[in-house]
Amino acid sequence: MGKQLTIESINEWLKASKIPVRVRRHGDALCLRATLPPKPGSGHTENHRYDLSLGLLASQDGLQRAKLEVQRLGSLLAMGRFDWGLYLDEPGPEKRTIAQWIEGFRREYRATHTLADSTWERHWQTVYDRLPQNALLKPEVLLEAVFATEADTHHRKETCKKLQKLIDYSNLRIDLLKYQGSYSSNRPQVLREPPADALIAEWRDRIPTESWRWFYGVCAVFGLRPHEAFFCQMESPYLLRVLKGKTGPRLVRAFYQEWSDRWNLINADPPAVHGDTFRIYGERASRQFNRYDVPFDPYDLRHRYAIRLSVDFRLPVPIAAKEMGHSPTIHWNTYQRWISRQEQDRVYAEAMADPDRPQAP
């Protein structure tokens, strides 16, 4: 059995985390105490200390839920997004604002699903933030948000799915899923032509900072996703271990070994970047490439690595996909343009070199 939560242990954790909220007990119920903006109708003109009722009993389940709520309140205060409408007694369904519906759904969903705060903020709240928060939840408002996205895209599909969850919670009668379109993650990815290896080698030496030269080199030689370069270790000059990332740990091999030797990649020196999500690391790398005027993106180094494996070194698709940390299906769908062309060229060359081939009259 795990360690039992207590009000004292939660408050000690809040103090250590510098979250300016505390959990209190009123009889058998739990509440949150925090200094908040003036409550409507209170007569206060400046921030004041208030107790927020949670409707939770002082039980282990209630304490677990209270810990989630206190993190949410702390986040709202830190981001300057606290709204009394989310905590006052809810009006009838026909008078609730979109913000109130979102908050009610968030509480219910988070209570029944294991979900990190960063996941909610990135994949759910970003969709809901595009809605007019003080408006009433009506079909025309939701349809406007859907049609503001490009058809047959991942963005449209995720918008429809997330808004439909909110609709199902509110019992509003509308089906947004029929507007999500035909996007599929299995469709071939349209890529521009990745940089040639000669250009990659040339631009590596133009980067003025040693740590970013190492980052550039390790992405080029091992085909890493940009964020993976910050969470890896060199096992040998030609073998790298990804410790964590989008698809978890894996071992990756050097293509080319000569680059790894020439650029001394065994002496790992990643840039000092810190962030709460993998996305932050990738965005920082892209900004750095722009700052150095590199004529391609960090991810293009990964794309060129994939083509190097499948076309230049002729690795079978399942083996190349394993090095890349994705499925053979994704590898083929993404890079078939180059793989198919190489196969056609090879078969053509073999056919023309066959001494028994048909001869022109």
Measured CA to CA, the distance from residue 331 to residue 317 in angstroms comes to 7
CA angle 195, 279, 167 (to 5 degrees): 125
Above 70 in pLDDT, residue 225? yes
pLDDT at 3 over 80: no
Q: Which of 92-96, 266-270, 308-312, 322-326 has the lowest mean pLDDT?
A: 92-96
Determine contact, residues 278/246, Cβ cutoff 8 Å.
yes
Asked if the model's pLDDT at residue 86 lies above 90, the reply is no
At residue 210, the pLDDT reads: 94
- Residue 244 pLDDT > 70: yes
Q: Name residue, tokens 């949150």.
A: 32
Q: Would you say 325 and 218 are in contact if contact means Cβ atoms under 8 Å apart?
A: no
Task: Quote the pLDDT of residue 155.
Answer: 85
CA distances from 273 to 145, 229, 276, 285 (A): 35, 11, 11, 9
Best mean pLDDT range from 41-55, 92-106, 163-177, 340-354: 163-177
DSSP state of 121: I
Mean per-residue pLDDT for 82-98?
70
190 in Cβ contact with 334 (< 8 Å): no
- Contact criterion met (CB below 8 Å) for 158 and 180: no
Distance of CA 317 to CAs 201, 214, 332, 340, 343, Å? 25, 28, 7, 12, 12
How far is CA 199 from its chain centroid?
30
Above 80 in pLDDT, residue 87? no
Rounded CA-CA distance 244/92 in Å is 46
Closest C-alpha to 331, from 307, 355, 314, 312:
307
Q: In whole angstroms, give the CA distance from residue 80 to residue 68.
A: 18
Farthest CA pair distance, the chain: 102
Cβ count near 207 (within 10 Å): 18
What is the rounded average pLDDT of the residues 11-15?
90
∠158-159-160 over CA atoms, to 5°?
90
- In this prediction, what percent of the chain has a pLDDT beyond 70? 92
- pLDDT tens for 138-188 read 888 999 899 888 887 888 899 999 999 999 888 888 889 888 887 665 555
Q: What number is the average pLDDT over the span 120-130?
A: 88
Please check whether residue 308 is in contact with residue 331, taking contact to mean a CB–CB distance below 8 angstroms: no
Q: Which residue has the higher pLDDT, 343 or 90?
A: 343
DSSP string, 163-203: HHHHHHHHT-----GGGS-S--TTSPP--PPPPPHHHHHHH
pTM, full prediction: 0.51
DSSP class of residue 37? Answer: S
Q: How many CB atoms lie within 10 A of CB 325?
A: 21
pLDDT score of 247: 83
In this predicted structure, the answer to whether residue 119 has a pLDDT above a threshold of 50 is: yes
320's tokens: 């190349």
**Confidence category of residue 71, pLDDT binned at 50, 70, 90:** confident
Residues 6+ apart with CB under 8 A from 297: 286, 289
Question: Given this model, what pLDDT does residue 93 score?
Answer: 59
Name the band, by pLDDT with cuts 50, 70 and 90, for residue 342.
Answer: low
Going through the chain in order, the beta strands assigned E by DSSP cover 21-26, 29-36, 48-57, 232-236, 239-242, 250-253
Q: Stretch 67-76: mean pLDDT, rounded?
A: 86
Residue 346 has pLDDT above 80, yes or no: no
Quick check: 92 pLDDT over 60? no
**Torsions phi, psi of 239, nearest 5?**
-140, 125
- CA 225 – CA 326 distance, rounded (Å): 11
Report the pLDDT averaged over residues 266-284. 86
Assign 1 a pLDDT band (cuts: 50, 70, 90). very low
Provide the pLDDT confidence category of residue 263 given band limits of 50, 70 and 90.
Answer: very high
Q: Which residue has the higher pLDDT, 103 or 347?
A: 103
- 280 — phi, psi (to 5°)? -60, -40
